[in-house]
């Protein structure tokens, strides 16, 4: 299993990176990205620390740990510049907190994220056809999420992504131990998203490609 969207104590997650990563390893993960929420006020504090612990845990827990960030409620006109800033600080995975159906994320966030150079647009809610077509062009991955609330629009995101050939990845957006991925969770999410086992194989391949690109 691969999960490219999780939260630790460095934002609003319940666990230290070390516990989060070890629990993921016990559940059978091969790779995990630590992507705490960040904006201009926190990225220079959080990213270097996440890089340090990712290196330590990759070496000593035998699981691939990728240092990342989830840019959250960044003004859409600033998203591209912030992605570059996060990369220059060493973030390997950049996720954008998309226009979830259950939060007032600034309008224009999905659109700005798609052409920002980020790796993943998380929980993109009622993303439009035009935006999905653009995602196919830029190669950003659109997220199918196991997280309650955000997952309300999974079947919408999945339907348009398949129709227009945009890439999808399956992530948990883990904040607490019970959120960590299990085979049952995957099965349930595929079912409610109108996705097949075959679609899941493709999503795994997409996640692996994102991981590979970080080398």
**Interacting residues with Zn ion (CB under 5 A):** 70, 97, 122, 173
* Least distance to Zn ion, CB of residue 173, Å: 4
DSSP 214: T
| Kind and range of the H or E run holding 52 | helix 43-61
Give the nearest distance from C-beta 50 to Zn ion in angstroms: 14
Kindly state the smallest distance separating residue 13's Cβ from Zn ion, in Å.
9
Min. distance of Cβ 82 from Zn ion in angstroms?
15
User: Shortest distance, CB of residue 145 to Zn ion, whole angstroms?
Assistant: 8
Gyration radius (Cα) of the chain, Å: 16
Nearer to Zn ion, 3 or 173 (CB): 173
Select 65 or 198, whichever has its Cβ closest to Zn ion: 65
If the CB atoms of residues 16 and 163 are measured against Zn ion, the closer one turns out to be: 16
Question: What is the b/e burial string over 28-62, where b = at least 16 CB atoms within 10 angstroms of the residue's CB?
Answer: ebbbbbbbbbbeeeebeebbeebbebbeebbeeee
Q: Which is nearer to Zn ion, 59 or 141 (by Cβ)?
A: 141
Between 41 and 62, CB nearer to Zn ion: 41
Residue with tokens 């309300």, as numbered in its chain: 152
**Smaller CB separation from Zn ion, 70 or 179:** 70
Closest residue to Zn ion: CB criterion: 97
Strands (E), 35-99: 37-38, 64-71, 93-97
Residue position matching structure tokens 């600034």: 106
* Sign of the four-CA dihedral 48, 49, 50, 52: positive
How big, in percent rounded to 5, are the helix, strand and coil portions of the chain?
50, 15, 35
For residue 52, the minimal CB distance to Zn ion (Å) is 21
């Amino acid at each position: 299993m691969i999960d490219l969207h999780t939260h630790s104590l460095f934002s609003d997650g319940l666990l230290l990176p070390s516990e989060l990563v070890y629990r993921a390893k016990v559940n059978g993960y091969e790779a995990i990205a630590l992507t705490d929420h960040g904006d201009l006020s926190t990225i220079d504090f959080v990213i270097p620390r996440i890089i340090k612990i990712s290196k330590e845990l990759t070496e000593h827990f035998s699981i691939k740990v990728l240092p990342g960030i989830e840019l959250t409620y960044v003004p859409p006109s600033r998203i591209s510049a912030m992605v570059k800033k996060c990369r220059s600080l060493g973030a390997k995975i950049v996720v954008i907190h998309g226009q979830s159906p259950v939060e007032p994320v600034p309008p224009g966030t999905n659109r700005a994220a798609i052409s920002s150079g980020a790796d993943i647009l998380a929980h993109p809610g009622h993303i439009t056809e035009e935006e999905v077509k653009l995602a196919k062009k830029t190669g950003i991955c659109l997220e199918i999420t196991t997280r309650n609330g955000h997952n309300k629009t999974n079947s919408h995101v999945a339907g348009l992504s398949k129709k227009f050939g945009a890439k999808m990845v399956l992530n948990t957006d883990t904040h607490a131990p019970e959120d960590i991925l299990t085979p049952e969770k995957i099965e349930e999410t595929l079912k409610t998203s109108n996705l097949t086992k075959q679609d899941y194989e493709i999503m795994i391949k997409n996640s692996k490609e994102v991981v590979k690109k970080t080398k």
